[in-house]
Structures are given as structure tokens and as C-alpha cells.
């Protein structure tokens, strides 16, 4: 059994596209939970009338994406695989290929789809425009501890088709083995609740991916598992100083609270999960990146630095969580280092 957990807030204009792609799946042994984060448009009415076979959960407040995911995981105990779905359209054989890949590899704790870019938002009353531009093939981590979406913004020419494993799955439409998720609980939580402020959260998927790796689970990329995603902000990652300036307009669309959480939680993830010996080996690159990030922030997003106080406040708690994580870690620093790109 595969469970698809979908969280939504005011998705009335577009939700039919996402849910219709579930109804056309060639694999039929699945169920769908739709968590409504207190929508005030017609989202709930659409689900009730057009998708009565799906389980609608009406939450009285907006708790955000990953908090909703954890609630649904906790309430559904018997699915072998869990898909955390955001605003993506799945290819018709998505679930069939998910089952085939994961059934054949019991060490696969998380599966990364080949996710292409589509254009949907801003095309009201028009069909989504699917492209062959890669949205994400999962997370790629550099020795500076810069994190990017692998392939993001590139035209797919088969350049990644031979890739089998990646550092970690990204949060657009990750597929998890339930056993893997349950093994990753820290203080009873799969997703760190301290990574959120109200409905806002950031870096939850990065933290979970790193922890899964530490606990011995593989992250597998499958080119047969295909989805389409309209990423509302960045359309490519920065490869140099010139690209940072190009991204300024896109960065302005992001809520300041999300930017603060991005800055804080990225560093918390390193504090909690990185081996000290690996940090020491990469320290020159880490320091260089931190200086560059600080300079950019001071020039263009100084409001982000208001989060420094909360970083200091929560740091002792993160160190305590680190002790619990390291006590359960099965993958040593040498093997973890294989997933850090030089």
C-alpha cells in the first residue's frame, strides 16, 4: 500500500490538476489524504464534490506543509511507502514505478523522482505547460555546505540518467519507506518542530535527508519516476556572483520569515548532523562561503540577520539533539563524506 499525503492552502484554482493526476495512475493500491490548512476559498468544496474517494482532513488552522505531513504519517500506520505531495502533477505510471524500484531495494529509504519544471501559476483557466527543464533531481551538497537542487534549471539531455544514488531527496514530491521514517524520530518527531514558526518552515527536508543518510538509508534517484512542479520562486541556482544579482527579483518574492528560517535552519542542520572531522577538513571552504553569505545578506537582505538571536537561543537544544542523532548514527564520517561534492 502507498499513501499519498497532500497538504494544501487555498488551492481552489489549481488543485484539480494535481488530484486528476492521481486518479489516472496505472497502479491502484494507494490511498490519498488531503490536509486542508484552513483554506478560505473553494478548495474543500472541490475535494468533496469531485474527489469523494479521497480522505479530506479539515484543519482549523494553517500549520504549514511538513507539520501537516507529520500529522498524517502519525495517523496512518500501515502503509509501506509514503509520498509527501505538494503542488505537483504525477505522470500516469508514477506510482507503478515507485513500487517497482522500492520493492527491489529494501535499503532504499527515500526515492527521488525526476521532477521537471511546469508552468501553471499565472495560467489561470489554462492547461499546465510541461517542459523538459529539470526542476530537481534531489539535493547536492558541496564542501562549503552550499546546498542546491541537482540539475535545477537545466534542459534534460540525459546527462543524469546514469546517476543512481544522491545525497538526499528534495521536498517537492519525496517518497519514503515508512520503516525509514520511523527510525529517524528524534524526541518523538520525524520533522524537527523547532524548524517552524507558525505555518512557516524551511530546511525540514534537508535535515530529514541528512538524518536518513546518517541512519543508514539510501536515497535513490529514478529516471522512470516522473513528476512536474511549478516552483514559485527560484528557477535556477547561482553559479557565481553575477547570478546572485539576477536572483534579487526572485528573492524579493520570498517572505522575510522564510528567509530567516532558511538562514537559521541550514546552519542548525549542519550543527545536528555533520561530523566534526568532516567540518574541519572543509573549514576553509565553509568559512569562505559564510563570509560571502554574510556580505550578500548585509547588502541585500539585512532583515535576515534579526534571526541571529533565535539561532543563539535554540543552539543548546540543537546540540542536545545532535547527541541523540550521533548515538543512533550508522554511517560513519568517511562514508558520509562520499556525498559531499568537491
Residues 213, 109: contact at Cβ < 8 Å? Answer: no
Cα 258 from chain centroid? 14
- Across 46-64, average pLDDT: 97
**What is the per-residue pLDDT across 196-248, written as a single tens digit (0 to 9) for each?**
998 888 999 999 999 999 999 999 999 999 999 998 655 555 555 555 566 67
pLDDT of residue 337: 96
| Residue of 225, 12, 42 whose CA lies nearest to 121 | 12
- Across 289-301, average pLDDT: 95
pLDDT of residue 242: 57
C-alpha cell at 206: 534537508
289 located within any domain? yes
274 located within any domain? yes
DSSP for residue 156: -
14 located within any domain? no
d(CA 324, CA 78): 27
d(CA 339, CA 342): 9
Indicate the pairing of strand 108-119 with strand 129-136: antiparallel
143 pLDDT more than 90: yes
d(CA 342, CA 320): 30
Residues 156, 132: contact at Cβ < 8 Å? Answer: yes
d(CA 115, CA 30): 21
Mean pLDDT of all residues in the chain?
A: 93
Residues 173, 231: contact at Cβ < 8 Å? Answer: no
**What is the per-residue pLDDT across 107-128, written as a single tens digit (0 to 9) for each?**
999 999 999 999 987 777 678 9
65 located within any domain? no
Contacts of 317-323 with CB under 8 Å at 24 or more apart are 317/194, 318/194, 318/268, 318/271, 318/272, 319/271, 321/186, 321/187, 321/192, 321/272, 322/271, 322/272, 322/273
200 located within any domain? yes
| Alpha carbon separation from 162 to 158, 193, 223, 228, 315 (Å, rounded) | 8, 36, 9, 21, 40
| Alpha carbon separation from 319 to 36, 143, 261, 304, 306 (Å, rounded) | 34, 22, 18, 23, 21
Lowest model confidence (mean pLDDT) among 2-6, 99-103, 231-235: 231-235
49 pLDDT more than 80: yes
199 located within any domain? yes
pLDDT of residue 255: 83
Tell me how crowded residue 202 is: count the other CB atoms within 10 A of its CB. 25
pLDDT of residue 233: 59
339 pLDDT more than 90: yes
| Alpha carbon separation from 122 to 102, 127, 178, 232, 245 (Å, rounded) | 36, 11, 36, 10, 24
- Across 89-113, average pLDDT: 97
Number of H helices, E strands in the chain: 13, 14
Looking from the CA of 306 toward its CB, the CA atoms found within 13 Å total 9
pLDDT of residue 116: 98
259 located within any domain? yes
66 pLDDT more than 80: yes
d(CA 302, CA 295): 10
**Domain extent for 146:** 85-342
pLDDT of residue 244: 55
pLDDT of residue 331: 97
User: Which DSSP helix (H) or strand (E) runs through 284?
Assistant: helix 283-300
212 located within any domain? yes
DSSP for residue 193: G
pLDDT of residue 60: 96
Report the domain count for the chain. Answer: 1
- Across 12-20, average pLDDT: 94
d(CA 51, CA 63): 23
**What is the per-residue pLDDT across 149-160, written as a single tens digit (0 to 9) for each?**
999 999 999 999
- Using CA atoms of 56, 60, 64, 70 in order, give the dihedral in degrees to the nearest 10: -60
Question: Residue written as cell 517542459?
Answer: 131
Lowest model confidence (mean pLDDT) among 34-38, 139-143, 203-207, 253-257: 253-257
125: CB partners within 8 A, 6+ apart: none
Amino acid at each position: 500500500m502507498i499513501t499519498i499525503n497532500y497538504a494544501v492552502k487555498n488551492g481552489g484554482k489549481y488543485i484539480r490538476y494535481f488530484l486528476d493526476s492521481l486518479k489516472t495512475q496505472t497502479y491502484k493500491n494507494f490511498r490519498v489524504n488531503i490536509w486542508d490548512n484552513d483554506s478560505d476559498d473553494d478548495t474543500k468544496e472541490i475535494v468533496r464534490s469531485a474527489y469523494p474517494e479521497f480522505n479530506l482532513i479539515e484543519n482549523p488552522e494553517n500549520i504549514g506543509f511538513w507539520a501537516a505531513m507529520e500529522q498524517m504519517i502519525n495517523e496512518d500506520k500501515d502503509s509501506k511507502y509514503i509520498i509527501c505531495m505538494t503542488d505537483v502533477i504525477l505522470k500516469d505510471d508514477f506510482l507503478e514505478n515507485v513500487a517497482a524500484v522500492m520493492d527491489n531495494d529494501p535499503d532504499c529509504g527515500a526515492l527521488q523522482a525526476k521532477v521537471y519544471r511546469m508552468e501553471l501559476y499565472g495560467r489561470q483557466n489554462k492547461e499546465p505547460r510541461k517542459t523538459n527543464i529539470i526542476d530537481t533531481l534531489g539535493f547536492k551538497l558541496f564542501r562549503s555546505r552550499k546546498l542546491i537542487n541537482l540539475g535545477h534549471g537545466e534542459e534534460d539531455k540525459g546527462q543524469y540518467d546514469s546517476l543512481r544514488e544522491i545525497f538526499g531527496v528534495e521536498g517537492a514530491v519525496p517518497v519514503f519507506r515508512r520503516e525509514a521514517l520511523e527510525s529517524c524520530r528524534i524526541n518523538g518527531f520525524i520533522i524537527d518542530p523547532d524548524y517552524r514558526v507558525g505555518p512557516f518552515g524551511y530546511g525540514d527536508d534537508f535535515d530529514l535527508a541528512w538524518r536518513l543518510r546518517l541512519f543508514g538509508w539510501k536515497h535513490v534517484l529514478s529516471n522512470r519516476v516522473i513528476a512536474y512542479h511549478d516552483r514559485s520562486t527560484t528557477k535556477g541556482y547561482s553559479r557565481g556572483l553575477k547570478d546572485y544579482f539576477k536572483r534579487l527579483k526572485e528573492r524579493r518574492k520570498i517572505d522575510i520569515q522564510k528567509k530567516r528560517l532558511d538562514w537559521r535552519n541550514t546552519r542548525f542542520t549542519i550543527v545536528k548532523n555533520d561530523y566534526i572531522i568532516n567540518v574541519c577538513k572543509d573549514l576553509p571552504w565553509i568559512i569562505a562561503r559564510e563570509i560571502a553569505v554574510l556580505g550578500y545578506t548585509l547588502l541585500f537582505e539585512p532583515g535576515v540577520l534579526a534571526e541571529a538571536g533565535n539561532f543563539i537561543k535554540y543552539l543548546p537544544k540543537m546540540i542536545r539533539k545532535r547527541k541523540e542523532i550521533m548515538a543512533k548514527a550508522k554511517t560513519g564520517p568517511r562514508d558520509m563524506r562520499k556525498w559531499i561534492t568537491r
